[in-house]
């Protein structure tokens, strides 16, 4: 198969991130509404719906919306197209907030505001699973339009939450294009009291 088609096919059919599949059973959540910000190809939205959640899956990209809509046909997933900075998230509404490698695509202040609005949108006893980029990421030097968080500054934002884990991953990692770049990622699992 042609390499570009092969990569596209992989992106469309890839399984949900292990960060989600490992953590979801440990959060003690039993359904409700989940938010997936920057849903990409829809793997996580599909997984959440198949595990008892109604899902609001948001992405600005036409391709992401198309893939997620196709992948989640017949499931309890609302695919919403738009810039996640512009959504008024309903306070205390979501059982779970998921955003994997998407929030870092906006600059720091916007990302901070978004995180505050995600926090407010989670109901008491709910949780978040978030993946953001760290300052050693290959893109950190050249992308002022993105945000990169040290574990210490990211942790400070979650004052009053129970942090279950804040894990750091560093190393070469392939992009959807197949190109491998040095990535620095933080994965936060936290519960709202
Ligand atoms: C690297 S992909 C990650 C997709 C998926 N969460 C995953 O883990 O594979 C980042 C996604 O965030 C979306 N995105 C980036 N900035 C956005 C914004 N301001 N509003 C909505 N979606 C955004 C992109 O369109 C893309 O689908």
Helices (H), 51-156: 62-71, 108-121, 151-156
- Span 43-87, pLDDT tens digits: 999 999 999 999 999 999 999 999 999 999 999 999 999 999 999
For ligand 1, atom 25: residue with the closest CA: 61
Number of domains in the chain: 1
Query: How much distance in Å is there from the Cα of 125 to the middle of ligand 1?
Result: 26
For the chain, give me the number of helices (H) and strands (E)? 6, 7
Q: Which of 59, 99, 114 to mutate to test the pocket of ligand 1 (most atoms within 8 A of CB)?
A: 59
Ligand 1 pocket, residue 132 CB under 6 Å: no
pTM of this structure = 0.96
For ligand 1, atom 24: residue with the closest CA: 38
- Span 96-106, pLDDT tens digits: 999 999 999 99
Domain span at 110: 3-192
CATH number at residue 82: 3.40.50.150
């Amino acid at each position: 198969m042609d390499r570009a088609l092969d990569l596209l096919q992989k992106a469309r059919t890839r399984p949900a991130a292990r960060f989600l599949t490992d953590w979801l059973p440990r959060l003690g959540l039993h359904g409700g509404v989940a938010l997936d910000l920057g849903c990409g190809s829809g793997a996580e939205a599909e997984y959440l719906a198949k595990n008892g959640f109604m899902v609001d899956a948001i992405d600005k990209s036409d391709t992401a919306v198309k893939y997620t809509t196709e992948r989640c046909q017949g499931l309890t997933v609302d695919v919403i197209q738009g810039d996640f900075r512009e959504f008024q998230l309903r306070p205390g509404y979501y059982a779970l907030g998921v955003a994997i490698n998407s929030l870092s695509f906006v600059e720091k202040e916007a990302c901070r505001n978004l995180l505050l609005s995600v926090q407010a949108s989670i109901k008491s006893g709910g949780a978040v699973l978030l993946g953001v980029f760290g300052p050693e990421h290959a893109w950190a030097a050249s992308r002022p339009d993105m945000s990169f968080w040290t574990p210490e500054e990211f942790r400070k934002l979650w004052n009053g939450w129970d942090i279950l884990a804040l894990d750091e991953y560093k190393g070469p990692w392939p992009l959807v294009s197949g190109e491998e770049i040095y990535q620095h990622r933080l994965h936060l699992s936290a519960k709202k009291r």
